Structure 1
Amino acid sequence: MHNRTIATARSKLFSWRFLGPAYWLIWLGLGLMKIMAALPFHWQVAAGKQIGRLLGKIAQRRRRIAAINLELCFPALSPNERAVLLDEHFMALGVGLFETAMAWWASDKKLQSLARVEGVEHLTHALARGRGVILLTGHFTLLELGARFITWHHPFHAMYRSHKNRLYEMVMRRERERRSGLPPLPHEDLRGLLRALKKGRAVWYAPDQNHGIRNSVFVPFFGVTACTVMATSRLATMSGAAVVPYFPKRLPGTAGYEITILPALTDFPSGDVEADTRRINTLLEDYIRQAPEQYFWVHRRFKTQPPGKTSPY
């Protein structure tokens, strides 16, 4: 019955308009992603870096945004060091295309030889409380693949922002659900999120992007004023769910991946939403510094500023 319900939900997402010429390039791209997922890992890394170098040359707007972010967040680095980091970031973005393809279509057999997941017991222990888990992370270039590794141990709902391209969203939802075992939830579905937590389930959530001043507070991120959503603290307060951080990292060369699951945050929520939000930013910073090129620097993280301050972009 459960599988039939999922299949019905998926079929409702399909539209015959997706077969029209307007979507042919998307279909081509998805087909190429399936091919990419089947390539040997060392080919994926090498090709991804080359694609990333090309992206760094042609995506000038995104390159400028990333350069500004790196200058703001790493002022101690010299201009040459930041230039190297910027190039490495675009190479990580290129590899991230292959990592998304692997997350959706590579076999478990292939991936299990590449990844090491540490701290699964922390997630298991938090779920045993029966009050749900907010599986907290950040927007890393290997976001999709890092989540796939977690699904080997526990299913979860993934929070996401609706995509403008309906065909891409259909495929994304289908593949995330197929791998995670539970349907993804759009950010605006607060009731669905709270229901999932109250059922004792895990919900994947990344609160580190700028969604405007509503439901946000200005707290430091790498020492820079950043408009940051307060939802993690508020959701934990409303649901009683534990907040379990995890962070994915691609190891040097072709050594594979390491996923670190941390113990549930203690004394969280604290009753001070601003302090809780600042704490999460600090936690993210600590892990971003371990492999800064793998964080999603092309997002305009600091675009919303307090009155009297202009956007750095």
Structure 2
Amino acid sequence: MGTDSGNILFPWLDEPWQRLNAYLTARRLPQALLIHGVDGIGKTRLAETFAQKLLCRNPSDFACGDCAGCRLFLAGTHPDFLKLEPAERGKPIAVDAVRHLIANLSLKAQYGGYRVVVFCEAHQLNISAANALLKTLEEPGENTVMLLLTDNPSALPATIFSRCQRLPIALPDHAVAARWLEQQGTGDSTAILLAAARYAPLKALALADSDVVERRSAVFSEYRDVVLRHREPVSLAERWSALPFEELVDWMISWVMDLIRLRSLPDYPDLDNPDLRDDLRALGSRLHLKSLFEFLDALLQAKRALNGQLNRQLLLEELLIHWARLACSPHVD
């Protein structure tokens, strides 16, 4: 990963990268830094690129890519780089994993420089794991940097959140994301992939080889039919329960947000789902703005509940029944 590579970081990560380097230049590197942004924006790439620079023996703008530290890092065997993540995506990080990490951190850095810890999906720390980590966050040891990554900072225990400095990663401008995706070869599907991924570029790219375009189209058609009373919500919830729940909720959130925009300004120029503009405008003419805001709140609560124990089919039933009732009023505001 030498400095001659144009693909070290994604273009929208330039500003957070400069902030990380500013910490380093000023010798005020946070011991615990919370890097947060939506799933599919490149948090792990940013953290690992910075970790490699910290462990590099000849760093410049980036790690040199050639020294012993870089070679060990790229081989995944650097003893002063530690990574903690759930055994499976969406599963909790258990206390035993944190205790093992703490035991490793009690030892001196083997190469005499920094020790770097990256926590992927930090919001998945369970209560016991979070409590075990508190003292280490406050006093991690000399030249130890802890980078906590999350797409759901509100789900972090308050005790962890309050002990971290924060580095937010914003979604890129739509045009920047689209241009980057086109360079990756997404072609005519770029706009729909971005809409399906809520404008997270890496998530959009991951969807490029899937049936997401067709699936999103089918789901939207069924979703529209519910509010038009052409489809029964409970039976649809049963069928949807076999689909990725987070994906469904994200799509519904983006559609409702666009409905709110179009009800407020019929020619709103920057929809999340520009390919659905005509369908959404037609739906919006049937719905109350206040009801749309209430339904958006319900969807956001459902998204926050993803990390807990829930009956997903039952929650889908509740959401779709709520959605079906939005068109019941005899007038529209």
Q: TM-score, normalised by structure 2?
A: 0.30
Higher relative contact order (CA 8 A, sep 6+): 1
Q: TM-score, normalised by structure 1?
A: 0.32
Q: Which has the higher strand share?
A: 1
